[in-house]
């Protein structure tokens, strides 16, 4: 939370320029939490537990294989038909395909998460510069302060992406083509600014009370708890796999 005044009644002491500055600062504070820090915290949680997530899906793949094998071998024994290994493998591959795709998705997610963490932490030292550049763009090309045209929409979309993905070079490049003496085309009254600031403060407070922000302080405790939950599921799945392995071995011996 910023050091700005949080009581709405105190804003009535501000002059117009102070209110405008507070509004812009509060928008950036909200956007930092929503567009940057949330992605960063989510990325950290993915990287700290994705190894167990992969293990869990791999175990589920093996269990699904064994269940199909058990069912087909039992059916073959009952019908006294010739066991068709190739056909069984085709059925297995078709059934495990969604789980294999999940593994690929999680691996890709982990790669993207690692890249975002590196980018976020590398550019954290430029946080003030990022903030100032973003606020400059807010006033000049965002729909909050401007009637939009295609050019502004295109530049604003690029600005948001550069802000989210910590690309200070692109932010500077966009900023350099904007006029410093630009005046917004949308003008707010003092009362409107006070109401907007108050709503933003409420939004920020509600964000800080939910995942992932509410576990930021106890991040290590949360990760340990989450990993323990997966480890408990792995223990149950391992027992199930071992049971199925024995059952399939017994059935195969009868073929």
Give per-residue pLDDT as tens, 62-87: 999 999 999 999 999 999 889 999 99
Backbone dihedral region for residue 178 (phi beyond 0: left; psi -120 to 50: alpha; all else: beta): beta
Between the alpha carbon of residue 94 and those of residues 50, 68, 190, 241, the distances in Å are: 25, 11, 63, 20
Question: Which residue stretches of the chain are H helix?
Answer: 16-31, 38-79, 85-122, 127-141, 150-164, 168-176, 190-208, 219-252
Residues of the chain with pLDDT > 90, as a percent, come to: 71
| pLDDT confidence of residue 122 | 86
Residue reference for tokens 């167990």? 52
In a domain? residue 162:
no
In a domain? residue 173:
no
| pLDDT confidence of residue 228 | 94
In a domain? residue 181:
no
> What integer best gives the mean pLDDT of the chain?
90
d(CA 25, CA 228): 40
The mean per-residue pLDDT over the stretch 27-49 comes to: 90
> In terms of residue numbers, what domain contains 215?
8-125+186-252
In a domain? residue 166:
no
pLDDT category at 1 given cuts 50, 70, 90 is very low
161 Cβ contact partners less than 8 Å away, ≥ 6 residues apart: 167, 170
| pLDDT confidence of residue 214 | 66
| pLDDT confidence of residue 217 | 52
Give the global pTM.
Answer: 0.76
In a domain? residue 169:
no
The mean per-residue pLDDT over the stretch 179-192 comes to: 85
CB 137 within 8 A of CB 159: yes
Nearest CA to 134 among 77, 178, 187, 95? 178
| pLDDT confidence of residue 5 | 43
In a domain? residue 37:
yes
Q: Above 50 in pLDDT, residue 3?
A: no
In a domain? residue 33:
yes
| pLDDT confidence of residue 71 | 97
The C-alpha torsion from 160 through 29 and 126 to 40, rounded to 10°, is: -70
| pLDDT confidence of residue 218 | 59
Nearest CA to 123 among 174, 176, 173, 169? 169
pLDDT category at 209 given cuts 50, 70, 90 is confident
Number of domains the chain is built from = 1
Task: Give 81's DSSP letter.
Answer: P
| pLDDT confidence of residue 127 | 86
In a domain? residue 56:
yes
């Amino acid at each position: 939370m910023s050091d700005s005044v949080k009581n709405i009644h105190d804003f009535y002491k501000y002059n117009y320029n102070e209110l405008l500055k507070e509004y812009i600062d509060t928008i950036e504070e909200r956007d930092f939490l929503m567009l940057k820090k949330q992605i960063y915290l989510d990325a950290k949680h993915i990287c700290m537990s994705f190894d167990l997530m992969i293990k869990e899906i791999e175990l589920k793949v093996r269990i699904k294989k064994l269940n199909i094998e058990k069912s087909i071998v039992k059916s073959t024994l009952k019908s006294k038909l010739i066991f068709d290994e190739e056909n069984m493998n085709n059925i297995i591959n078709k059934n495990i395909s969604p789980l294999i795709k999940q593994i690929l998705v999680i691996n890709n997610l982990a790669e993207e998460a690692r890249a975002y963490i590196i980018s976020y932490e590398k550019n954290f030292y430029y946080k003030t510069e990022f903030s100032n550049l973003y606020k400059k763009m807010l006033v000049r090309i965002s729909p909050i302060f401007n009637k939009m045209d295609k050019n502004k929409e295109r530049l604003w979309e690029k600005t948001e992406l550069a802000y989210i993905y910590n690309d200070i070079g692109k932010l500077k490049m966009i900023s350099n083509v904007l006029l410093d003496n630009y005046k917004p085309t949308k003008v707010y009254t003092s009362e409107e600014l006070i109401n907007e600031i108050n709503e933003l403060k409420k939004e920020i407070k509600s964000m800080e009370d939910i995942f992932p922000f509410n576990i930021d302080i106890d991040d290590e405790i949360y990760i340990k708890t989450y990993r323990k939950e997966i480890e408990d599921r792995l223990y149950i799945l391992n027992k199930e796999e071992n049971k199925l392995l024995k059952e399939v071995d017994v059935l195969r011996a009868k073929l």
